[in-house]
């Protein structure tokens, strides 16, 4: 079984991205900062994705390749890390 910490870190990054998207106060107050935080979160997801042990489950690979991050998070929570 692969090291669960890789999957847990990716799940945390996906949750963080979701929280940034939901931060409507920051978006209203400072759209540029909101965008920078979103870019940073996306870069972290890409980095963590590249560090996943291979091969990864085809369904997870499908979700990540298509940036279906809510589906990827649900998959990770169900299969690897829980909530």
The C-alpha atoms of residue 55 and residue 63 are separated, in whole angstroms, by: 14
3 state SS of 23: coil
- Per-domain residue ranges of the chain: 4-81
The pTM score is 0.90
Q: What is the pLDDT of residue 71?
A: 98
Spatial CA neighbour of 17 closest among 50, 32, 39: 39
Q: What is the pLDDT of residue 82?
A: 66
Residue pLDDT tens, the chain, 83 long: 356 899 999 999 999 999 999 999 999 999 999 999 999 999 999 999 999 988 999 999 999 999 999 999 999 999 987 65
Q: What is the pLDDT of residue 49?
A: 95
């Amino acid at each position: 079984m692969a090291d669960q910490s890789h999957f847990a870190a990716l799940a945390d990054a996906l949750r963080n991205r979701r929280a940034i998207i939901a931060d409507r106060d920051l978006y209203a107050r400072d759209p540029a900062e909101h965008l920078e935080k979103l870019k940073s979160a996306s870069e972290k997801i890409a980095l963590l994705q590249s560090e996943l042990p291979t091969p990864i489950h085809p369904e997870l690979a499908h979700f990540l390749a298509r940036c279906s991050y809510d589906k990827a998070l649900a998959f990770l929570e169900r299969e690897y890390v829980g909530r």
